[in-house]
Structure 1
Amino acid sequence: MPDEDPGAETAAEEERPSLDWVDILATVIMAVAALFTAWSAFQSDQWSDNMAFSLNAAGAARTESSRAFTRAGQLSQIDVASYFGWVDALQRDLAAGDIDVSEGYVPDAETVSGFLYGQFRPEFAVAMDAWLATRPFANPDAPETPFAMPEYEVAETAEAERLQQLAEDKVAEAQAADRNDDKYVLSTIIFAAIFLFAGLSTKMRSRAGQLGMLGVAVVFLFVGAVYLVTVPIQV
């Protein structure tokens, strides 16, 4: 058998220990990066689902808001038609001498105007009572119609506005969720770089090159970990 070269064995022994601990450290770094990557992917999916849910809720709220606005418009038209019908009947009752408004109007169910007054919607009746309390037939400073009174409200309008605001809030939530989703996607890119540099560290022949690649991988790992701490978590 040929004699073994003692110098070659010594060189190999000096080189292997550094490669061994570099391999181990690189593996540990990549394992941690893999855990962070899995967490980022999970959170990205969670925020993506949150965005989809918020957008669906916004769409539903917009639809309901549109219906409420339509209903409010219809009720307002009913109030306007009822009011002018009452005004016309009131003028006829005045012309016939059936009522006297010099001291204010008091509905009389025996008259046409009084009958129509009793047919007003409850919401509109409140505004009419408040308007008549200002004595509009004798007081020049009184509002021209009950529709100018602060008491005149259509509940459907308030509901439509509430739903519209809800839709806007849900859109804002969806936008925030989308931004958080993007942040977690960015974090996966950071951790992908860790795999690159940690993997390269095991292929470098010189110790300086190995430590350099490991150092870059550690920096990316630290930056990625700090970055994850700043990103909101979706449970």
Structure 2
Amino acid sequence: MTEHETRDGWTRATEIVSVFLLSVMAVLTAWCGFESSKWGGEMSIAFSQASSARIQAASAEGEARSAQSFDLTIYAAYVEANGNGEEELAEYIRARFTPEFEVAYVEWVADGQVERSPFARDEYVPEGTREAEDLNARADAKFAEALENNQRGDNYSLLTVLFALVLFLTAMSQREIVTWMARTLLGLAVIAAIVGVVILSTFPIRI
């Protein structure tokens, strides 16, 4: 095989590789842009859900504070009635204890009233407290999910830059430059493309 035929063979091979790289990288670049957009949308949804859960948690906390305030008022009236020896009134007030406070009060009396009041008992959980805790936990989880989705979108964006670099190197290798430089640029493009595809295969997909 003559030197001219060898050069023509290399030229055809590099052209095939270049066309293949340009085609595949164009598709992968578009795919990365699409995935980055999708994960950005998922991030926005998660942030919105976190905000909604936080607002609901604040409402539940307000409900719990109101319930505790009511229990304090009723208990204060009960203690005063007992102190004045008004047993009938005390029983009437006792019947108005909320279920949450009644549980704590019964346990407090059964244990010898060690704590200063039933409100110090672990059994006392005003209405809305559990709901507030669950909603706050949900808000925290959604916020963390939003940050994770944001990072995923950023990862796809960075990969888009890498694939754009492959396109640039491939295009430069097709310019009328010395052969060794063209092959070097094409070789770098191939390496970068392989690295990018390997990294891409580890990323989660959102359709």
Q: TM-score, normalised by structure 1?
A: 0.81
* Residue of structure 2 aligned with 1:175, choices 116, 127, 147: 147
Matches of 1:86 and 1:176, distance apart in 2? 52
Q: What is the CA distance between 1:68 and its match in structure 2?
A: 0.5
Mind listing any 5+ residue stretches in structure 1 that lack a counterpart? Answer: 1-9, 100-110, 137-141
Aligned equivalent of 1:158, options 127, 130, 145? 130
Question: 1:12 Cα shift?
Answer: 7.9
- Counterpart residue number, 2:172: 200
Q: State whether residues 67 and 127 of structure 2, in contact with CA within 8 Å, keep that contact through their aligned partners in structure 1.
A: no
How many angstroms apart in 2 are the aligned matches of 1:194 and 1:172? 33
2:56 aligns with one of 58, 64, 68: 64
Deviations 1:105-159 (A, max 9, x none): xxxxxx00001000111111111122222344xxxxx222111222211241121
Give identity over the alignment, percent: 30
Aligned residue for 2:116?
Answer: 144
> Is 2:189 the counterpart of 1:226?
no
Q: Is the 8 A contact 1:22 1:210 kept in 2?
A: no
Q: How does 1:18-37 map to 2 (within 5 A)?
A: 18-37=10-29
Q: Deviations over 1:72-117 (max 9, x none)?
A: 00000000000000001111226xxxx5xxxxxxxxxxx0000100
Residue equivalent to 1:131: 108
Matches within 5 A, 1:95-114: 111-114=88-91
Residue 176 of structure 2 aligns to a residue in which SS?
coil
Measure, in 1, the Cα distance between the counterparts of 2:189 and 2:111: 80
Task: Give the conservation status (yes or no) of the 8 Å contact 2:169–2:188.
Answer: yes
The TM-score, its normalising length taken from structure 2, stands at: 0.91
Structure-2 residue corresponding to 1:108? none
**Structure 1 residues 200 and 135 mapped into 2: Cα distance closer, same or farther (>3 Å)?**
closer
Which AA in structure 2 matches 1:120? F
Aligned-residue offset at 1:35 = 2.0
More helix by share: 2
* Contact 1:18–1:207, Cα closer than 8 Å, also in 2: no
For 1:87, the equivalent position in structure 2 comes to 79
Instruction: Give the structure with higher Rg (CA).
Output: 1
* Compared CA separation, residues 153 and 14, structure 1 to 2 (3 A): closer
What do the CA deviations read for 1:140-190 (whole angstroms, capped 9, x no partner)?
xx2221112222112411211211121111111111111111110000000
CA contact (8 A) 1:19 1:202 kept: no
| Residue 94 (structure 2) pairs with residue 122 (structure 1) | no
Q: 2:162 aligns with which of 172, 190, 196?
A: 190
TM-superposed deviation, 1:40: 0.9
Q: Is the 8 A contact 1:65 1:159 kept in 2?
A: yes
Deviating above 6 A after TM superposition, structure 1's stretches of 4 or more consecutive aligned residues are: 10-14
Task: Return the alpha-carbon distance in structure 1 between the equivalents of residues 177 and 110 of structure 2.
Answer: 97
Is the contact made by 2:39 and 2:152 (CA closer than 8 Å) also made in structure 1? yes
What SS does the corresponding residue of 1:230 show, helix, strand or coil? coil
Residue 52 (structure 1) aligns with: 44
Shift of 1:207: 2.7
Q: 1:78 and 2:70 equivalent?
A: yes
CA distance in 2, matches of 1:134, 1:219: 74
Alignment root-mean-square deviation, CA? 2.0
Q: Matched residue of 2:122: which SS?
A: coil
